[in-house]
Structure formats: structure tokens, C-alpha cells
């Protein structure tokens, strides 16, 4: 009897999969309990690789971190539902040391993966190390940089005397980073530059440094291991490694060594001590400095755990296929139809399954605002996230049209390496020739506020810096000072945006404003979501649309994007003083002084303008009245497990 009681949820899940597979094959798919407009086709459901809102909504339903965002108290007068991190996989909020640097978590005994295995502390350690591994190429890896050793591991920074891990090129699948090859662990005694390292003066500093790193010889005292544990105090064996060796031998004083080719030389993440597994259900995290918003980060989807066995068995990206994926959230992926929907089904193994009220959800890949509104009005969608801007004045009259302030900024990225945007005077001219109030009043139409800074208003204790205001006369003067009077001789400017009626309308309005105010012709180009993301990440654009939802309620979530080389920078802009201010703010214990440092950084950003802030969003949602438990939030985050449907009986 005990066996059947335990097995029943898995048997029911298998029966549901079989039934839906039959229905999909014969075109008789039953409707989901709840369907929402998820925008563009998702790019991935790998938490470490996702970056967009369409992916984030699904990941928040399918995975769960140590903490999760949950309602905190009653709604405010403006309709906003306050949210706060609450225990997820963790059994309780963390114990935090007096200095604010050490977080200790006890995990729930009943937290399980969809395959029935327990979620353990080692799952978090392994997942975060995978996220930080250079070959994962996670754009959100920097969100773990607050942890001791995380940045060095991700950026492959090593120094003599470091405890290191050296990966040999014997991976089971050479095309996959996981499972990894044989790992040698030891003390890095010397780094010897190769004589053949690039001396080409045309190389960028970064490229030259990377060549030197790969061609260097790493002399490592490899330590013995007993039952998988390194004996760091024991005398080790000297071995020499190189990623791209110029020679098969290396002479160290009087001794000649064979040079072993390796894939990576990284700091030993376990030995660094930033993340420690104290037991199967106990995890300890040590930060470099006190970080007031770290709990909020732990509820953010890039920090969700992934199932090691699943990732290593199928490899990337195949482990995320619906037939393969193993997850741990309130829902699991049942199937995916490209350009149609992702069907989610209640996860019966979820620790809080009794409080997951809806059995099936559909994330609909509907990017057309008009199509979404029509589907909503016909009852084919329960939640519309993006409606036609031309219809907003009329829709505002409806009770199911929800508008509220949001911690989101709409802006344009400028590629400062591409003429004419390599000239700051041109960037300032473009900003001052943009009538942002008109864009809000006559194009966006939902109550958005014009932005002269990047950080949205409402951050406690923070007063943002401002870029130049709308001034056509001054904008024309700046363009002339840059060498382009009346726009004559100005190199071609193109605005790139991801396919959307709303983004197109904004781009067309700005195109006309720049034509009228500066006399310049601007071209427009749109791309599908995935292609657009790839293009922006490669900075293969002149001007590109962007939007940023605060990952946590702090100015840093907006400002640290633009540090030199940051994965979300994507403008080629670099400013050493800006980098220093962001770094100083991260370690500043005094809250008031910290906000001042961040304001100084934003002042630099708004002076040099590698971006043009356009407006501060409001969240716009249309939700059918029978949907219970939905409310606007500042970060436009909506836990789907909290929803109920109270449909009228027929």
C-alpha cells in the first residue's frame, strides 16, 4: 500500500502525458485552465541562459530557487501588490551572520524534482558552478559575483598561490561542457608566459590577454584525493598544463616536465568557500560584502537549480526538451508547440502542490497586440500582457484593464564604436531632439512617464541623475559642433527593434522626430526575438531598442549593466570612473553614501549617453474578472501558482 501511495502521482502524470500526446497528434487539444499572452517565441528554458520576460514567466512556474517572490501584505492604494522573497526550496529564511556576509539555509525535506529525487544543497552548488563556468556563457553570471570566488571563476582569473581546478580534454562528449573531463586540483605555483604569445599591436588588450592566458604554462602542485576529497595539506606532484601549448615539454629550473593540454585552469570553486555544502539539506553562502538585496537575487530565475543528471545525460540544449526536462517548481512542461504555446501542467511532486490551484496553463506565443486583444475578447486568453496602443484610451474605461507603476525603463542602446555614435555630441543631440513627453502622450498612451535617467523613480533613498532635456535648438547646435550641420554628412543610423507593433510605433515616432528636429534620415529594422537578442549581444547594430525590468528593488540592478565588458552592456561603452563607482558602491556599508556613489555613476552615464532613456513603463495587463489572485506588481512578476479561476457555471 505504501508503494502505491508514493507511486500514484507519477502514474497519474504518465497517464496525463499519454492522453495529451494522443490529443496533440489528432488535433483535439483541450483548452488549458488558464492561458496568457507570453509574447515572442521563447529562446530557452535553461535558467542559466535565459534573459527575457517571456522566458522568465515560464521559468518562475517550472523551477524554484531557495526563495521565491510572493505577496507580502495588502495591496497599496495604487493597486500595487507588494512582493517579497519568501521560502521556496528553503525551509525558512536564512540565518544571516552579524556582518551580513554569511547566509545559512536549511532546505525542505519534501522539496523534490519532477523525477522524484530530492532537491539537495549540492544541486545548488553544482547549478551555480555550471552557471559561472565560462562555457555556459550565462549573461546573468554576474548576479553571482557577490559570492566569494564567483567572479574569478567565471572570468578565469587565477594567480600564483591560488587553489585551482584543471580540466583535461577527456570529456565523454567533446561537444558538451557537461559532464566535464577529468579534474586535477592543486596549488598554482607559477604562471609562465609563452614566448609565442601574441605581440600584435593591432590586437585589442582583451584579445591579447586572452591569447596570453591560453598559451601560458601553468605549473601546478597537484594534490592527492581520497574518496573525492582533496588533501590540501599533503605534498603534491608538480605537473605543467597549457590550454594551447607551444611545446610538449617545459623546463622548470633543473627539471623537465611534459606539458599536458587542458581545457581550463580555474580557481577551485569549492575551495574558494563562497558556496559550501554543509550537508544534504544545508547550504552556506559567503558574500564578499554585505548586500542588502541578496535575498531578492535568490528569488530570481538565473539562480534556480537545474537537475545535474538531466543536464549531463542529454546535454545542452537538449536537456530542456519537454520529454527530457526535470524541474522542481509548481508546474512542469508538458509539451511545446513552436510558434503556438508551451503547455504547463501541475507538478504533483511539488512540496506545496496542495496550494497550486490550476491544473494546466498555456503560455501562448502571441506577439501581435491586435491578435492578443482579439483572443482575449473571445475568451481564448485569460491574461493579455501587450495590447494595441491605439486602443488604450478606450480600454482604460474597462474594469479588467489594469495599469500601475512599474520598475521598468524603456531605452535605446547606442553602439559607441559605430559612427556617428562614436561622438558623444551626436549622442547628446539625438537625446535632446527626442520629445519624450509626446511619445508618452500620443504613442504609448497608458500613463508612462518621460525618462531623463535610467533608474525609475520610487527607489527609497535614491535621487536619480538626469540627461539633457528636450531642446531642439541645442540639439541642432550639438550636431553642428560634431561636424554635421543640418544633418549633412551624417553616417547612416538604423534603429533595431524586436518585432512588436508597440516597438514599431515608438521607433516610427522617433524616426519622424529626428527627421523634423535634426534633418536626418533614419532607417528601421525589426527582428524576431531570438535573432534580435543574438544581434544585440554581438553589438551588430547602431541603435537598438531595450527595456529593463528591475531584477530587485535597488538602483544597482539598472546601473551595473553598463560596467566595462558587462554581458548586458552591449554598447561597447567603457568608463573607468564609472566602473570604480559601481565597485565602490557594492562594498559601501553606509546606505546613504552607497546611494550617492550610485548617483555619481548615473551622472556619468547620463553625460556620456551610451543609452538614451525614453520612458518609465507602467505595467499594462488585461485580466478576466473570474481570475482570482492576480494583481499588478512593481516588477510585473505574477506567481501563477497563486491564481484561481472562478468561472460561472453553465
* Residue 626 within a domain: no
Q: What is the pLDDT of residues 140-191, one digit of tens each?
A: 999 999 999 999 999 999 999 999 999 999 999 999 999 999 999 999 999 9
Same domain, 228 and 347: no
Is pLDDT of 369 > 90? Answer: yes
DSSP-assigned states of every residue in 220-289 = EEEPPEETTEE-TTS--EEEEEESS-S-SEEEETTEEEEEEE-SEEEE-HHHH-SEEEEETTEEEEEBSS
Is pLDDT of 18 > 50? Answer: no
* Residue 188 within a domain: yes
Same domain, 69 and 159: no
Mean per-residue pLDDT, 490-512: 96
Same domain, 126 and 160: no
Same domain, 266 and 284: no
* Residue 326 within a domain: yes
Same domain, 441 and 528: yes
Three-class DSSP category at 145: coil
Is pLDDT of 196 > 50? Answer: yes
* Residue 649 within a domain: no
Mean per-residue pLDDT, 467-479: 98
Q: How many CA atoms lie within 13 A of 547 on its CB side?
A: 20
Same domain, 123 and 160: no
Q: Report the largest interatomic distance among the alpha carbons of the chain, rounded to a whole angstrom.
A: 90
Report yes or no on whether pTM surpasses 0.85.
Answer: yes
Nearest in space to 314 (alpha carbons), one of 326, 300, 324: 324
Same domain, 417 and 540: yes
Instruction: Please report, for residues 334, 476, 507, 635, 644, the alpha-carbon distance to residue 34 in angstroms, rounded to integers and kept in the order given.
Output: 14, 52, 33, 21, 9
Instruction: Look at residue 79 in the predicted model and tell me its pLDDT.
Output: 87
Same domain, 434 and 507: yes
Cα torsion 514, 520, 524, 530: sign: negative
Structural domain span for residue 257: 149-272
* Residue 65 within a domain: yes
Instruction: Look at residue 29 in the predicted model and tell me its pLDDT.
Output: 87
* Residue 45 within a domain: yes
Is pLDDT of 11 > 80? Answer: no
Last residue of a domain, one of 316, 337, 364: 364
Is pLDDT of 202 > 60? Answer: no
Q: Residue 411 pairs with which residues in a beta bridge?
A: 546, 613
Mean per-residue pLDDT, 507-531: 97
Same domain, 419 and 549: yes
Residues 6+ apart with CB under 8 A from 418: 542
Instruction: Look at residue 10 in the predicted model and tell me its pLDDT.
Output: 43
Mean per-residue pLDDT, 635-647: 93
Q: pLDDT higher for 483 or 79?
A: 483
- Looking up residue 479, the CATH number of its domain turns out to be 3.10.105.10
Same domain, 252 and 282: no
* Residue 512 within a domain: yes
Instruction: Please report, for residues 188, 559, 596, the alpha-carbon distance to residue 603 in angstroms, rounded to integers and kept in the order given.
Output: 42, 11, 10
What DSSP element (H or E) covers 406? strand 401-414
What DSSP element (H or E) covers 523? strand 522-527
* DSSP summary character for residue 439: I
Instruction: Look at residue 526 in the predicted model and tell me its pLDDT.
Output: 97
* Residue 533 within a domain: yes
> What percentage of the chain reaches a pLDDT higher than 90?
88
Is pLDDT of 12 > 80? Answer: no
- Looking up residue 100, the CATH number of its domain turns out to be 3.40.190.10
Same domain, 550 and 434: yes
Q: How many domains does the chain have?
A: 3
Mean per-residue pLDDT, 598-614: 98
Instruction: Look at residue 17 in the predicted model and tell me its pLDDT.
Output: 45
Nearest in space to 139 (alpha carbons), one of 412, 533, 481: 533
Same domain, 56 and 99: yes
Mean per-residue pLDDT, 486-494: 96
Amino acid at each position: 500500500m505504501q508503494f502505491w501511495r508514493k507511486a500514484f502521482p507519477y502514474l497519474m502524470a504518465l497517464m496525463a502525458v499519454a492522453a495529451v500526446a494522443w490529443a496533440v497528434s489528432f488535433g483535439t487539444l483541450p483548452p488549458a485552465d488558464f492561458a496568457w499572452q507570453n509574447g515572442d517565441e521563447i529562446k530557452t528554458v535553461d535558467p542559466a541562459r535565459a534573459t527575457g520576460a517571456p522566458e522568465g514567466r515560464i521559468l518562475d512556474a517550472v523551477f524554484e530557487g531557495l526563495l521565491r517572490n510572493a505577496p507580502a501584505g495588502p495591496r497599496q492604494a495604487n493597486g500595487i501588490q507588494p512582493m517579497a522573497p519568501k521560502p521556496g526550496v528553503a525551509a525558512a529564511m536564512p540565518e544571516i551572520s552579524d556582518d551580513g556576509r554569511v547566509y545559512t539555509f536549511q532546505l525542505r525535506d519534501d522539496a523534490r524534482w519532477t523525477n522524484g529525487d530530492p532537491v539537495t544543497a549540492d544541486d545548488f552548488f553544482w547549478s551555480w558552478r555550471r552557471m559561472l563556468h565560462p562555457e555556459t556563457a550565462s549573461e546573468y553570471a554576474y548576479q553571482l559575483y557577490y559570492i566569494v570566488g564567483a567572479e574569478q571563476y567565471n572570468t578565469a582569473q587565477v594567480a600564483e598561490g591560488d587553489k585551482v581546478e584543471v580540466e583535461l580534454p577527456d570529456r565523454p562528449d567533446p561537444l558538451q561542457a557537461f559532464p566535464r573531463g577529468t579534474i586535477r586540483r592543486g596549488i598554482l605555483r607559477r604562471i609562465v608566459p609563452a614566448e609565442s604569445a601574441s605581440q600584435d599591436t593591432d590586437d585589442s588588450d582583451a584579445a591579447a590577454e586572452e591569447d596570453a592566458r591560453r598559451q601560458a604554462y601553468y605549473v601546478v602542485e597537484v594534490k592527492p584525493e581520497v574518496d573525492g576529497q582533496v588533501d590540501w595539506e599533503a605534498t603534491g606532484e608538480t605537473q605543467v598544463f597549457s590550454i594551447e601549448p607551444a611545446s610538449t615539454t617545459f623546463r622548470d629550473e633543473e627539471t623537465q616536465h611534459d606539458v599536458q593540454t587542458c581545457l581550463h585552469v580555474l580557481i577551485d570553486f569549492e575551495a574558494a568557500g563562497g558556496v559550501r555544502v554543509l550537508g544534504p539539506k544545508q547550504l552556506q553562502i559567503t558574500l564578499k560584502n554585505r548586500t542588502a538585496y541578496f535575498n531578492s537575487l535568490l528569488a530570481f530565475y538565473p539562480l534556480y537549480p537545474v537537475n545535474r543528471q538531466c543536464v549531463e545525460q542529454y546535454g545542452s540544449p537538449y536537456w530542456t526538451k519537454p520529454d527530457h526536462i526535470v524541474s522542481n517548481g509548481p508546474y512542469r512542461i508538458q509539451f511545446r508547440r513552436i510558434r503556438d504555446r508551451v503547455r504547463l501542467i501541475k507538478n504533483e511532486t511539488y512540496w506545496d502542490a496542495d496550494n497550486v490551484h490550476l491544473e494546466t496553463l498555456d503560455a501562448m506565443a502571441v506577439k501581435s497586440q491586435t491578435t492578443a486583444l482579439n483572443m482575449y475578447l473571445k475568451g481564448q486568453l485569460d491574461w493579455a500582457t501587450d495590447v494595441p496602443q491605439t486602443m488604450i484610451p478606450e480600454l482604460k474605461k474597462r474594469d479588467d484593464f489594469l495599469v500601475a507603476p512599474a520598475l521598468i525603463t524603456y531605452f535605446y542602446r547606442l553602439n559607441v564604436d559605430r559612427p556617428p555614435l562614436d561622438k558623444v555630441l551626436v549622442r547628446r543631440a539625438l537625446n535632446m531632439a527626442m520629445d519624450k513627453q509626446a511619445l508618452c502622450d500620443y504613442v504609448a498612451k497608458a500613463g508612462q512617464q518621460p525618462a531623463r535617467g535610467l533608474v525609475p523613480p520610487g527607489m527609497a533613498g535614491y535621487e536619480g541623475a538626469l540627461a539633457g532635456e528636450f531642446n531642439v535648438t541645442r540639439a541642432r547646435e550639438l550636431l553642428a559642433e560634431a561636424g554635421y550641420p543640418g544633418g549633412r554628412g551624417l553616417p547612416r543610423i538604423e534603429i533595431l527593434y524586436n518585432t512588436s507593433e508597440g516597438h514599431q510605433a515608438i521607433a516610427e515616432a522617433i524616426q519622424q522626430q529626428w527627421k523634423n528636429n535634426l534633418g536626418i534620415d533614419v532607417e528601421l529594422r525589426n527582428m524576431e526575438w531570438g535573432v534580435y537578442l543574438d544581434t544585440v549581444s554581438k553589438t551588430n547594430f547602431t541603435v537598438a531598442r531595450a527595456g529593463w525590468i528591475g531584477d530587485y528593488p535597488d538602483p544597482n540592478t539598472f546601473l551595473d549593466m553598463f560596467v566595462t565588458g558587462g554581458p548586458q552592456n552591449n554598447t561597447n561603452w567603457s568608463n573607468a570612473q564609472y566602473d570604480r563607482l559601481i565597485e565602490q558602491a557594492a562594498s559601501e556599508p553606509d546606505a546613504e553614501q552607497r546611494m550617492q556613489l550610485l548617483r555619481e555613476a548615473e551622472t556619468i552615464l547620463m553625460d556620456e549617453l551610451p543609452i538614451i532613456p525614453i520612458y518609465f513603463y507602467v505595467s499594462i495587463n488585461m485580466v478576466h474578472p473570474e481570475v482570482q489572485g492576480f494583481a499588478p506588481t512593481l516588477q510585473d512578476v505574477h506567481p501563477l501558482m497563486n491564481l484561481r479561476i472562478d468561472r460561472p457555471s453553465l
